Structures are given as C-alpha cells and as structure tokens.
Amino acid sequence: MPATCRSAFDTILSVDKTGGTTTYTEISLVLNIDGPSREVGSVETTHLRSPRKTYRPGLPDGGEMSFEIEYDPADAEHIFLAGLADEPEVLSWRITYPLTPAKHHTFQGFLTAFEPSAGGPEENLTASVTVKVTGAVVETTAS
C-alpha cells in the first residue's frame, strides 16, 4: 500500500529563545524547512591485506536544518535570528508537523548562517537561515 502524502501546510518552526525553559516561540513567515539531515559518517577499516576498502559506521550526526523566511527587518523573531549570527548560542529548536496528534522533532542547535536577500523589484525580501544540529534529534508525539 502506498504511503500517504501529507501537506506541509501548517508546519511550525519554533525556538526556545531563553535557552533552557522549553518555552518555544514560533518563527514567523517561514517559507520552507529542510532537515534536520540525519547523517552517519564512515570510518575506514582497510588494512594492508584487504582486497578492497572496508568501513564501519561512524557516529550519527544531526547534520543541519535550514529554512527560508519572508524577511521582515522589523519583526522581533527575525531580529532575534539575525542577532544569533553575531552572538551564537546553542538553543532548543522544534519543528511541529501538522498531524493528529502532532509530531515534534526537537533538537539543540546553533545558527551558522543568516543571509538576507533583496531579490528584484518584483520579489519579496527573504532570508536563508542555517542551524547546525548538536546531539540527537528527538521525535515525540504531542499529548
């Protein structure tokens, strides 16, 4: 039986701005979210008598999460994000998927890029944001 396709409509990205209270604030005007990209590295185990290269799995890596916003330089959350590029801080991030009951991906991470774009005269202001995940991505179901 084929998997059910789900709409991304109403997916919410939020961050715990206080760094530990798990009081999440929604990031406004999010256009898309990519990741977090869960990755596993490889460690070479080839020895002098190996007829081919051999490997074992390395440590899991949460990779990165990137997202794009319709940038409003006066928006409090967008000002907060831009500030994280100047004063990095590990914070808790949460993606809430629009399921019943809702599913969350929660992880620790720090901003590694904030890139505004003015585009052209017929385009909206946007900004691309990248967050490096540190530690595990935890999936939970809302109660």
Residue at 5 is within a domain:
no
pLDDT tens digits for 51-107?
Answer: 999 999 999 999 999 999 999 999 999 999 999 999 999 999 999 999 888 899 999
**Is 88 inside any structural domain?**
yes
Residue 6 falls inside a structural domain = no
Q: How many domains does the structure of the chain reveal?
A: 1
State the distance between the two ends of the chain, measured CA to CA, in whole angstroms.
28
The domain in which residue 127 lies consists of: 12-141
Triad 91, 93, 98: Cα angle to 5°? 170
Q: Is the pLDDT of residue 143 over 70?
A: no
Looking at residue 29, the DSSP 8-state letter turns out to be: T
More confident residue, 13 or 143: 13
Q: What is the CATH number of the domain that holds 40?
A: 4.10.410.40
**Within a domain: 62:** yes
CB 12 within 8 A of CB 96: yes
Q: What is the pLDDT of residues 115-142, one digit of tens each?
A: 999 988 899 999 999 999 999 999 999 7
Smallest CA-to-CA distance from 131 within 66, 86, 68 is with: 66
